[in-house]
Amino acid sequence: MGSGKSTVGRALANKIGFTFYDSDREIESRCGVDIPTIFEYEGEDGFREREERIIDELTALPDIVLATGGGSILRESNRELLRGRGYVVLLSVDINEQIRRIGNDARRPLMQTEDPHATLRNLMEKRAPLYQELAHVEISTDARRMHHVVARIQRHLKKHNVL
């Protein structure tokens, strides 16, 4: 959360001539409701089911940049789809920077807690090993301008013959 996945992903897609998708926005568009509402009615498991179907569909498309929700990697099937069908760039960000960026964003159901710092720390303890196992490359977005992050990703993709 707050690493810049959508902002950087959209800019990268524009730069390289690919189509950009955000799996969370696709879910909301197709359901006609926002993610907090899906969590409210279906719980996290219901949301993750929808997310898995969207990731399967989108990763089958050619020439896309896909931003996924931070919890998408919790399911092994999603990790297999992402790594097997694409090139995974992990955008990392410090917890304090995450808090600065997302604050008390009501659209983030997992952040509706008394202690957002503790919540982010707990999420990262669980997710960091999965992120790092999955990613082909990790790039920090802390205090970096978006166009610098995009240029770095682009250089990496070219170096590894992805573009």
Report whether pLDDT(103) > 80. no
User: What is the model's pLDDT at position 87?
Assistant: 96
Enumerate residues 6+ apart whose C-beta is below 8 A from 47: 27, 35, 38, 39
Quick: pLDDT tens for 80-98: 999 999 999 999 999 888 8
Please, are residues 160 and 87 in contact by the beta-carbon 8 Å criterion? yes
**Whole-number mean pLDDT of the chain?**
92
Q: Provide the domain count of the chain.
A: 1
User: What is the model's pLDDT at position 106?
Assistant: 66
Report whether pLDDT(74) > 90. yes
Q: Taking residues 134-160, what's their average pLDDT?
A: 93
Find the CATH number of the domain harbouring 132: 3.40.50.300
The secondary structure of 114-141 as a DSSP string is S-HHHHHHHHHHHHHHHHHHH-SEEEE-
Report whether pLDDT(150) > 70. yes
Is pTM beyond 0.75? Reply is yes
DSSP, collapsed to helix, strand or coil, labels residue 103 as: coil
| Structural domain boundaries enclosing 81 | 5-159
Q: Taking residues 107-117, what's their average pLDDT?
A: 76
**Distance in angstroms (rounded) separating the CA atoms of residues 71 and 22:** 13
Enumerate residues 6+ apart whose C-beta is below 8 A from 110: 1, 71, 119, 123
